[in-house]
Amino acid sequence: MYVCNCNGLRQRDVRQAIEAGAQRPRDVFARHQCQAQCAKCVCDMRKMIDETRQAFAMAAE
């Protein structure tokens, strides 16, 4: 499923960037050597980042 239609970033691309240390949507774009175009995907990326942080926090408990 595409997260960013403008840059062709799929969920797996965003997850790979998050696993590699991306903490903000701009980190995701930087990892894939692109930048936000229309920014409709930014909220979805933030949600994915927050969900990943919560999962790691729960795993660490």
Write the pLDDT tens digit of every residue in 47-59: 999 999 999 888 8
List the domain range (segments joined by +) for residue 44.
2-60
CA atoms within 13 A on the CB side of 16: 10
Rounded Cα distance, 46 and 13, in Å:
14
Return the beta strands (E) in the chain as ranges.
2-4, 9-10
Q: Alpha-carbon Rg of the chain, whole angstroms?
A: 11
Place of tokens 């595409």: 2
**Mean pLDDT for the chain?**
95
Total structural domains within the chain: 1
Tokens linked to 34: 């692109």
CATH of the domain at 52: 1.10.10.1100
DSSP designation for 4: E
pTM, two decimals, is 0.89
